[in-house]
Amino acid sequence: MKNRFDLIIFDWDGTLMDSVDWIVHCIQQAAMRCECAVPTAQAVRDIVGLSIENAMKQLFPDEDSENRQKIAADYAKTFFTKQIGPEDLFPGVHDMLNQFRSQGYRLAVATGKKSKGLQAAINATGVAELFCTTRCADQTASKPNPLMLDEIIMELGVDKQRTLMVGDSVHDLQMALNAQVASVGVTCGAHPATTLQKYNPLLCLNYPTDLIGII
């Protein structure tokens, strides 16, 4: 895989930032407070990567749109109570991103987060300046629609065949398949290797930092 890629697009939650357990906690607490059926931890993990609107539809199919909005608002309120910093990235992520930039790779983020939330997270973790561009679910179509990747690739003028998507969820890898972009799965977030391998990634790694020396 050496010298095969020019652009690396990372998912955020569960790929670069160790946040999936916190997402699970916040959604379960929101469901409880809104007196809805509390989804299992795995059910919440299965929506990581989707836009909040699509996530609420999948988790709470029997609730009307007003109640889903209530749950989403409660979730967001709790989620943003946590002060985040560089230590919330998976170990070695900051150094990895610096190394890839110094090697000439262009880096981007494609996430189901809203743009305000991503901006706060990348600023708080100290990696904002390392990315050429980002795309969030409130700026374009939600994963697994390929539009997010297509827009990044078009903006940066990179060949699809020279682009790699790195993600921890089936939505990340399905999006890559839909965009006809190569992918690598990481098992530190939402889904295990046995699940991710169904989406034909080049590799399944424990952490994104395992890419060092491979690409």
Contact 150, 124 (CB under 8 A): no
Pairing relationship of beta strands 7-10 and 163-167 according to DSSP bridges: parallel
d(CA 22, CA 48): 11
- Host H or E run for residue 100: helix 93-102
33 and 15 in a common domain = no
Helices (H), 108-211: 115-124, 147-156, 170-179, 193-196
Strand boundaries in the chain, DSSP class E: 7-10, 106-111, 133-136, 163-167, 182-186, 203-205
CATH of the domain at 51: 1.10.150
189 and 171 in a common domain = yes
Residue 18 DSSP symbol: -
Q: Please, what is the Cα angle at 120 between 153 and 125, to 5 degrees?
A: 85
How many helices and strands (H and E) does the chain possess? 9, 6
Nearest alpha-carbon partner for 164 in 176, 174, 178? 176
pTM for the model = 0.92
26 and 13 in a common domain = no
**Segment 14-53, tens digit of pLDDT:** 999 999 999 999 999 999 999 999 999 999 999 998 888 9
101 and 64 in a common domain = no
**What is the residue range of 122's domain?**
7-19+86-211
Domain closes at, from 62, 79, 96: 79
- Residue-level pLDDT, tens digit, the chain, 215 residues: 778 999 999 999 999 999 999 999 999 999 999 999 999 999 999 999 888 899 999 999 989 999 999 999 999 999 888 899 999 999 999 999 999 999 999 999 999 999 999 999 999 999 999 999 999 999 999 999 999 999 999 999 999 999 999 999 999 999 999 999 999 999 999 999 999 999 999 999 999 999 998 98
